Chain A
Amino acid sequence: MGNDRRNFLKTAGIVGLTLTVGKSFGATKTKKNSVEFDGILYDSTLCVGCQSCENACAEQYGLPLPEDTPDPEVVRKTDEKRLVVVNSFNTSKGEQYMRSACNHCNNPACASACLTKAMLKTDEGPVIWREEKCMGCRSCMISCPFDIPKFEYNSPNPKIQKCRMCYELIHEGGKPVCVENCPAEALLFGKRRDLLEIARTRIYTEPEKYHHAIYGEHEVGGTGVIYLASVPFEELGLRTDLGTTSYPEFNKTFLYSVPAVLILWPALLLGLNNASKNRTGGNHE
């Protein structure tokens, strides 16, 4: 047991070191070619509901600071003025917290639904919204299984608002501000693969502390933001009935059949036209 703990501390230490300073040692501009997505690990057991993440995000993006606090009676939701919220729940293991924001899915429904490519899954991993392309059709809102994109209904030039994992900062080599400012270290930023390893290690080494699943590992085909908790995720307001297929897969059959119809239908119709011509004996003008 002792060995295991030592090993875990070693691994965690190395991983943590690499995460924080490894960038300056390692390759600098591999991001463009890399297919490793960035992600965020949120550990609900460490979260204390201080809302530092909410405050940091609001400051970063010029949004109003949160005025309400996590309350088990009220489920706060993100909207066009709040990109991330923390809720508190009364669970079987006491009061626990759960954060809610864009999950930056591996294969996002919103990006697939967007007909102008305003919603884009970047190469680095975050799903961003690009203002110059959006026409405000709100298909992304219809498709997102987590109901994350929010629309500025009261503006004549409305934007879609959602967490963008501080994409501009990541691009420069930084971290999302919520991760930077979390005093309880409930949030970790890094490559999704590494974060999954950390999460699995945490579950393995402290099995009584955690619920034995990582939310977002397989849900809707895998999400960039993954969650750990001490209780089953339904108790914390997360939907567990979304399935493991990525949502764009639901459109596959239909989209694939479009070119086929455009090939088959004209041939079929010409044939029918020919056959009926022979029957009635003449052109139908």
Chain B
Amino acid sequence: MNNQQQTGLFKFLISELKPKGKILTPFNVIAAITILVAAGILFIRFKNGLGSVIHASQETPWGLWINFNVITGVAFAGGAFVVTFMVYILGLEKYRPIVRPTVLYALLAYMFYAGALLLDLGRPWKVINPIIGNSFGISSVLFLVAWHFILYMGALFIEFSPTIAEWTGRIKIRKFLVSLTLGVVIFGIALSTLHQSGLGALFLMAKSKIHPLWYSEFIPILFFISSIFAGLSLVIIIETMSQRIFRNNMSFANKASHRKIVISLAKVCSITMFVYFSMLVLVFLHGKNQMYINTPWGYWYLVEVIGFVLIPCLMFLYSYRKLNLSIVRIAAVISIVGIVLNRLNISTFSFKWYENTIHFPSWMEIVVSAAVIFVQILVFRWIIRRMPVYNEAQVGLTEEKNNKSIRVYTKSEEKWKILVE
């Protein structure tokens, strides 16, 4: 890279920071207000200690930022490892158009939710301790989860980096990064299996505190399976919204394949949820907790399992057979709510259930949680509008005479550009 190219790149990046599109939309205004209020709340949190902001107590130590943004939010980022598995390992090309947006969403999710975790730490500046090596608590599940988050973020970044290389026009680097893809995808899937189940394993030692209907030794496996359909359900919703919001940034291939992809995802979700439901029945039989069913907690458990797992499972099957996209989307929303319920039930609501007090988060926790999500969406939008995520450059190698060149078709400019190596 010569000097001119370097300054060119720098200027390019600066120019890209300018906002595209209207600034004063309702979404932007709400997001901005939430983020500003959250910034104020965080200032108070760091000045006066955690207790001034979150409703955690000595009995229930974890607040909404860990229980919702990390333990629930990370489940929804599970779309990345499922979709990359289907495309790169199984070779199911029909899902290719959603690989980039899903990997991007997961990358941002892990970055921001790991950030939310830092906010819920009593002394975030010490987070360097388990990383640099003088205090490795290896028998701790949280140690494993923390390390996996870091490694997986790296893996997702490498998976996403060809897009960045295309955006900045670095063809040689792009080729190198693409060659890493399969290895990094495999590593990412192994890591995902472990940390998705690891989030559940965090609660294994709280056996005496979580309600028996929700606690079992199988929590890690259940968390892993539920992360599969949680991620895919969110992918369905994201794709549905992107089709409308990011229409102008979308290639024809993306627009034309939407129906097919959503219907196929409905089938995958349906089968996964059926398996998950069967696992829940097995765990229920194994735990010999039948006597709890006939209690208020038991009824709530049935609502969660039947209303928010079994019913969307069957809805997915029905909508797949009838090719009905609306029902797919409704089922996706219901299953998303079900996952949130399940994760919050285990971590918050049924934690210390015998004390007979329901623990609700404070409004300040909710505002900060929402702000984290808003920031994530804003960054997502910034990237979509600039980088070839939804309108992948169709890269084809052609040999013309003795020159090897790469022809990149950029849809937004409706022409073929030749980039010579």
Contacts of B146 in A (CB 8 A): 115
CB-nearest residue of chain B to A266: B186
| Number of inter-chain CB pairs below 8 Å | 169
Contact present for A142 and B205 (CB under 8 Å): yes
A109 to B143, CA, bound (A): 14
Shortest CB-to-CB span from A272 to chain B, Å, is 5
User: Quick check: B91 and A279 within 8 Å, CB to CB?
Assistant: yes
For B181, give the chain A residue with the smallest CB separation: A285
Given the interface pairs A142-B203, A277-B91, the reply to whether A112 lies near B140 with Cβ below 8 Å is yes
| Complex contacts, A280 vs chain B, CB 8 Å | 91, 93
User: What would be 7 A-B contacts, judged by CB atoms less than 8 Å apart?
Assistant: A138-B56, A142-B206, A250-B207, A254-B201, A265-B193, A273-B91, A284-B88
Contacts of B130 on A, CB cut-off 8 Å? 115-116, 135
The reply to whether B93 and A137 contact each other, CB–CB distance below 8 Å, is: no
**B189 and A248 within 8 A (CB):** no
- The minimal Cβ–Cβ distance linking A234 to chain B, given in whole angstroms, is 14
Binds A, one of B45-53, B290-298, B363-371: B45-53
Q: Annotate B118-158 by CB proximity to A: 1 below 8 A, 0 otherwise.
A: 00011111110110000111011111101000000000000
Contact check, A147 vs B59: say whether CB atoms are below 8 A apart: yes
In the complex, what distance in Å separates the CA atom of A109 from the CA atom of B125? 24
Find B137's partner among A116, A136, A243, A277 (CB 8 Å cutoff): A116
**Interface majority SS (helix, strand, loop, mixed), chain B:** helix
B-contact 0/1 string along A238-280, CB 8 Å cutoff: 0101110001101101110010011001100110110011011
Instruction: Indicate if A61 sits at the interface (CB-CB under 8 A).
Output: no
Knowing A156-B46, A254-B198, A266-B190, say if A115 contacts B140 (CB, 8 Å): yes
For the complex, is B204 an interface residue (Cβ under 8 Å from A)?
yes
Besides A115-B146, A133-B126, 15 more A-B contacts (Cβ < 8 Å) are A80-B58, A116-B137, A134-B122, A135-B123, A135-B126, A136-B121, A141-B58, A143-B206, A151-B58, A153-B49, A253-B217, A262-B194, A266-B190, A269-B190, A273-B182
A residues contacting B by CB (< 8 A) are 77, 79-80, 109, 112-118, 133-139, 141-143, 145, 147, 150-158, 239, 241-243, 247-248, 250-251, 253-255, 258, 261-262, 265-266, 269-270, 272-273, 276-277, 279-280, 284-285
Residue of A nearest to B195 (CB): A258
Q: Does B26 contact A (CB under 8 A)?
A: no
Interface residues of B (CB under 8 A from A): 46-52, 56, 58-59, 61-62, 85, 87-91, 93, 121-127, 129-130, 135-137, 139-144, 146, 178, 181-182, 186-187, 189-190, 193-194, 197-198, 201-209, 217, 220
- A contact residues around B178 at 8 Å (CB): 285
Question: Beyond A141-B58, A242-B208, is A261–B137 a contact (Cβ under 8 Å)?
Answer: no
